[in-house]
Structure 1
Amino acid sequence: MVNDRLLGELRGALVPGAGIEESGAALSRVIAPIVAHDGLRCGVMNPSLGVGISALGFWHGYGPDLGRELMSVGSFAAGLPELGRLARQTVPVGVVDLSVPLGAFGVGEELCLVLRDTRGVWGLVSLTRAAGGRPFDADDTHAIAAVGRPLIAALRGCVTARPVAPTADGLPPGMLVVGADGKVRAMTPVARQWLAAEAPQDAVPDWLLESFLAALSFEAHAHARDPRRRYPRTCFRSAGSGWTGIEAQPLGDNGDVAITVQRATGTLLLPTFCDWYQITTRERQVMRYLHNGTAPRRIARLLDLSVHTVDDYLKALFRKTGTCGRDELIAAINA
C-alpha cells in the first residue's frame, strides 16, 4: 500500500521543469523527517533500458567537488556492481562508509535505496551524513525502504504531467566526441544547441553534465569489451515535453566515443514511453501494431483476441496517456 500522504508531499516536491538542485532541496525537505540527513542525491533510470545511465537526477547538499568525485568514471564503475547487488536484495537498502575515500569532503556514511518495482530498477536514492555524525541504523533502513514505492509513483507523475505530444519542434540529431579522459573533444553546432536546450546552466550544474558524458563514454567502452552488453542509451523527457534519446558508441581504438543526441521517437522511444505510462505487456503489443499502421481488426486477428478486447486495450492506452484517440497517441510516439 502506497502512503497517500507521503505520495502527495513527494508530488508537491517534484515540479515538472524545476531545476535539479531546486527539486533536490524540495525532495530533501520531504524525506528529512523520515530519515535525517545532510545531503541527498537521486538518479532515475528507465527500467526497460536496464541498470546504468540516469535519465533524470536531483541533488542537494553535495558540493561540486564531492559531486565530481562521486560521479567520476572510477566511482561510476565501482558503483554499478553495488547497485546491481542492492537491487537483488529483498530489501534494496544498504549503507556505504565513505569516510575513508571521501573524508576530505566531510562525508561519513551514505544510505542507499534502490528504487525498484515489478517493472525493474527506476534508480537510486542516497542520503549522506557528515563525518563524525550518528551512523545510519536499522530504523533508518526500515524508514527509507518505505519511501521507495511512493517516490516511484511521484516520479512517474512528474514525468507524465506534461502534454503527451511535444509543444515545440525538435532539433535535428547532434553529435559530441568524448575522449578517453571523459572530456568533450568536439561537438557539432546542433549538439551545442541540444545541450543549451536540455541542460540550461541554472538547471544542470556543469560538473554533473561532464560526469554524465563521462559515464556514457565508460559504458560505451564496456560494451566494446563485452559485446553481450548493449551500447549505453537513455531517454528522458525534454524541456519541450517531447523525449530526447542519447546513445554512445566507441569511434575506434583511441578511446574516443561518439555520443548522439536526438529526438526519441518510434521504436527508440516505445520501451521508455511504456515504462513511464505504466503500459502493460499486452497493451504494448497493441501499441506496437498501431505504430506500424495496423488496423484494430487486424490486431485482433494477429493477437487472437476479439475486436472488443482490442478496443478495451485501446481505451486503457488512451486513459493512461491522456490522449483522445489513435491519431493523437501515435502522433505522440512519432512526433
Structure 2
Amino acid sequence: MTSTTSQVYPVIWQDDRVLLIEQNRLPNEYTFVEIKCCDDMAHAIKTMIVRGAPAIGVAAAYGMYLGARDIQTESRDEFLNELEKIGKTLGQTRPTAVNLFWAIQRMLNTARKTLGPVEYLKTVLLETAKTINAEDIQTCQAIGDKGLEVLPKNPEKLTLLTHCNAGALATAGYGTALGVVRSAWTAGRLARVYADETRPRLQGAKLTAWECVQEGIPVTLITDNMAAHCMQRGLIHAVVVGADRIAANGDTANKIGTYSLALVAKAHKVPFFVAAPLSTIDFSIGDGSQIPIEERDPVEIYQVGNTRLTAEGVEFYNPAFDVTPAELIAAIITEYGAVVPSELQQFQTKQVV
C-alpha cells in the first residue's frame, strides 16, 4: 500500500487492523505495514517501524487492544491477568520512551474500571485506543501553538534547529518539536528549519527533512557536528527538540546528541526548548539519572546499508538516548503551556492515566 498525500498519520486504525507507516523505508518508499496481533505490534515497536515516544504510545494502545481481542475467556479475572501479560510484552520493547508505559497503564486502568462482560471490555479498550490516538493529534497542535508563543520575538522570521524527528511521524500526527516548526511556518514566522542528520539512524535526514519537503517548509540538512558552527555564524535563532522521557525536575531524555546540542546552544546564548506532551513527563522519578537508557545493536554504527565502515575488531557503544540537564533548557512546551523546568510540578494533576 502506498500514499502520496502530504498529510502524515503514522498509526491508523482501519477495519480490524492497524496500519503503520514503515519508517525504516523512508524517504525512498512510503509504505504501510498491516498489524493484526499484539506480537506484530511489539515487533514493529522494537524494530522502529513505528518510532517516536507519542507514536509508540498510540501504537501500544492499539497493541493492547489487539492482544485483548485474542484472549479467549469469559472470566473477567482471567482476562485482566492475560491483559497484564500483554502489557509486559509491549513494555519490553523500548525502555526509554515513557509514553509506551503511560499508554499501557491507561489501557490496563480502563479495563480494570470498566464493568460488564469481557466482550464489552474489549469494545471499550478499542474506543480508548482510538481516543488516545485522537487526543495526541489535538495535543500536538496545542504544543505547536504554545511553542509559537515563547519563540524569540526577533527577528520576525526565525531559523530553527531541530534534532532527530519529533514530527508527525513521531506522533499520531502534526508533531511536537516539528509541531512548533509547523505552527511557526503557518504563522509566517519561520524562515527555515535546520535539521541535524542525527546519527546513527539518520532520523533527521530520512524523516524530518522528508516531512518538511512534503509541506513545502524550507529545510537545510546538516551533520550533527555542524551545529556549533551554524550557531557561531548566527544562523540559528532557537533550538526545538522533542523528548522520550522527562523527569520531574525537567531533566530530559531525547535522541543521542541532544545533550551536546544543548551545551552548544548554551555557549552561544541560543534558547533551547523541549516540546513534549504531558504524558512524556515521568513524575515518578526525581531526575534524569533514573531514566533507563536503551542501547541498540552496534550494527547501526559500523554499517550503512550493506557497507561496513570500520575494521574488524573495533568495539562499539551505541546508546540510543542521552539526558539533557534541566538547567540547559529554556522552557518545556506542553499542551498546557510552556514553563521553565522547575515549574513542571504544576501540571502533575492534569496528567491522565
TM over 0.5: no
TM range (shorter): under 0.3
TM-score by length of 1: 0.26
TM-score by length of 2: 0.25
